[in-house]
Amino acid sequence: MIRNRNLIRCCILGLLAMILQITTVKAQKYHSDNGNGTYTNPVIPADFPDPDVIRVGNTYYMVNTTMFIFPGVTILKSHDLVNWQYCSNAVQRFDFSPCYDLDGCNRYGHGEWATCLRYHHGQYYLLFITLDEGGFLCTASKPEGPWKIRHLPKGFYDASLLFDNDGKIYVAHGNSKIYITELNKYFSPMRKDSLVFTGDIRHGLEGTHFYKINGYYYLYSTYGARDGIQVALRSKNVYGPYKEKVVMRDTIPGANFGIHQGALVQTQTGQWWTMLFVDQGAFGRFPSLQPVKWVNGWPMVGVHGEAVITYKKPDIGGRKAYPMTTLPTSDEFNETKLGMQWGWNHNPVRDKWSLTQRPGYLRLETAKVVSDLPEARNTLTQRMFAYYSKSIPTIGITKMDIGNMMDGDVAGLAIFQNPYACIAVKQWKDSKYVVMMYNGKTIDSAAIKANTIYLRVSADYGTSKASFSYSLDNKHFISLGKDWIMRFSLSIFTGNKICLFNYATQTLGGYVDFDWFRMHPGRQADEINRIKNKL
């Protein structure tokens, strides 16, 4: 009888898993590309803000702001503007201030800012500012790199380069007041900044992208904030006067509310498109691809004044459709270098992490004695993905070997913004405890006797709620602490990121090994486990 009961139970679970897998696949999306000639915004459901996009030949490149995360200044590439993949992280580390080493200061909410991407005469250019260190120019002969970086004598806020037909180089820049400055071949100003326009709709005209199209100079700019307004300014003369027109102001609650700030790009067939972004709360700012129709010389965005959600894909010519792509998130740590989805919170300490000391594992040694996670070196981060669903949570889970920790060490899995929270193992007086902490304060804890632990976070895009749990066998997970609300604070200025970390509060010398990290939509696994526990 018992044997038959177990057999029936296994059959029920197998059938349940099959049903849930089918319904989950139907309910969730991994791609913007719908596979039928249409796409659905956002083109990437994750934190890729301040997009600048160019086309070189048949390939599109997009750069996004990464601020204090390095390797950073992330460049993506695509053949159809919908399916994107990683191309390079142009700046591997940023050695222009001790604050990027968390040496007595930090650069949260600062760092690399609204980068301009251009291609001219066989050379790729990245121009950006940091609010504290000034202007920087990166150059490369190919977008995959290597990139060379140099500090410019002057920085320009929200800068955009224009290589004019007569060989002159200009940069448009500014906030509320927009300036144009001519540069020499070393990208230094040739004369004083020229004020060409003062924002007159409201304060905060910024995010300018500079173009010359059909004899007009265009400043494609935004009045920022959650209810952003996209405008175009145009003039026959580079120094103006410029006329202004609102080209997109979508205030409909939902996927495109306040869409703003981005780039114009033309396809091989002559179509025009724009890549803007939308503030999506705790998960950050998502890029959104919108059609552009030229009306009396103005680039009008969307359809009938509204941004599109599902729409036909760009016409890139006669080639058959390119394959759907999904940006990587999970990592088995079997390679000798980190995947491009990863970035360190500020500069890493090179000799305190390794993928080769124990092949197949990411080793994080304690790198600095600190009091809390925001001060910790070698915290490894990546973006969270919303998976096109407000009902399916994002699950992040890692397997961690904790056998070589020292007293005072804290290692685990975090969601980082302001506020931040984590589930971690803390060693104290030769005993180990799994703890859930919120902004550095321990909320809950449990003693454990194990050298291997599985830590899990569930983050809900729809409600911004997050929760933590742990397991000693990767089968039965125990909730720890309480649900908390993720927020998007300008003090950090990036979307909430999942982090792997290990820091010391007493003495250096300990280390942990992460066997793998996996991120995926969580409804199917959670439902199976929930029902399994009831049977």
The answer to whether 136 touches 119, Cβ cutoff 8 Å, is no
Q: Which residues pair with 394 in a beta bridge?
A: 459, 521
Three-state DSSP class for residue 125: strand
Residue type, 203: H
Q: Are 320 and 82 in contact (CB under 8 A)?
A: no
Q: Is 50 a catalytic residue?
A: yes
Q: Which of 33, 47, 50, 331 is catalytic?
A: 50
527 is catalytic: no
Three-state SS for 167-198 is CCEEEEECCCEEEEEEECCCCCECCCCEEEEE
- Give 161's Cβ-side CA count (13 Å radius): 30
Give dist(CA 143, CA 53) in Å, integer: 13
Cβ neighbours for 476, distance < 8 A, ≥ 6 positions apart: 533
Q: What letter would DSSP give residue 468? A: E
- Sole residue written with tokens 């998960």: 283
Residues 379 and 374: their CA atoms lie apart, in Å, by: 9
Q: Do the Cβ atoms of 364 and 512 come closer than 8 Å? A: yes
CA distance 256 to 253: 7
Q: In the block, which residue shows the tokens 């990411």?
A: 362
Cα 442 from Cα 169, distance rounded (Å)? 55
Q: Which residues contact 516 (CB under 8 A, 6 or more apart)?
A: 330, 331, 332, 333, 398, 399
Report DSSP letters for 412-453, one per residue. EEEEESSS-EEEEEEEETTEEEEEEEETTEEEEEEEE--SEE
Which residues are 467's β-sheet partners? Answer: 458
Distance of alpha carbon 166 from alpha carbon 182, whole angstroms: 12
Indicate which residue of 112, 206, 279, 331 is catalytic.
Answer: 206
Interior angle at CA 244, CA 239 and CA 249, nearest 5: 140
Burial of 373 (0-12, 13-18, 19+ CB in 10 A): buried
CB 147 within 8 A of CB 138: yes
Active site residues: 50, 206
